[in-house]
Amino acid sequence: MKKKLCMILVTALTSIALFGCGKETTQCDPVCSEEDYCGGCGSSISGDVEYLETTDPEAQTTIIYKDGSSFSLYSDATDILKVFGEPESKCEYGSFVNNVYDGFTVEYETTNGYPQIDNIVIENTDFEANGIKVGTTADAISDVLGCPSDECESDGTTYLYYFYDGFTLYFTIENEKVIDFTYSRSVCDIEDFETEGETEQQ
């Protein structure tokens, strides 16, 4: 399984409450430390995934920059390079590359010569996706995307997970507002992730 960019934590699926999007928020723990991989820890979950419906994955994962330019989780990574130029920093882990810009990070894989994007992390207000940006309230996310597939809490920070077939949206919430969000190609299985980690360290 692929290594995924940091910020995604292990969680178990919980039941939906009777009213609104209320869920019994669970506690979550890191899968790994930030030093383990080039971009951080793995995006892994446990339990069965409740997939949400989408009719247009590219539109659902399109991110608009303040100047009107846009890119999607399904864009070619080189297209982002053309728009934003060289990153402020860059690191590589095997066939995976992390390009870090001011306010966002793109992780892509260079397998077979095609730079497929695996993760996009947004960390400032210069970007908007589905009407959501850093500073958006948690309630506004539910208004736009509906009830999350799952959520968990760790040290006062809430993580919202929206699982779709082929991609996942993650939101980090503090003081009821988004502080960053991640669009990811897929969801890894924690057992596979831990097995890989153990193998690499040997």
Asked whether residue 39 is assigned to any structural domain, the reply reads no
Tally of residues, the chain: 202
Question: What's the CATH number where 140 sits?
Answer: 3.40.33.10
Q: What is the DSSP letter of 51?
A: P
What is the average pLDDT value for the chain, to the nearest integer?
A: 74
* Confidence (pLDDT) at 202: 39
Compute the average pLDDT of residues 85-92: 89
Higher per-residue pLDDT: 40 or 138:
138
Higher per-residue pLDDT: 125 or 98:
125
Asked whether residue 26 is assigned to any structural domain, the reply reads no
Cα separation, 44 vs 184, whole angstroms:
11
Residue among 101, 60, 42, 44 nearest 77 (CA): 101
What would the pLDDT profile of 124-148 be if each residue is shown by its tens digit?
Answer: 999 999 999 999 999 999 999 998 8
Q: Tell me which residue range forms the domain holding 55.
A: 50-187
Asked whether residue 35 is assigned to any structural domain, the reply reads no
How many domains are contained in the chain? 1
Asked whether residue 152 is assigned to any structural domain, the reply reads yes
pTM for the full model? 0.73
Q: Give 82's contacts (C-beta < 8 A, 6+ positions apart).
A: none
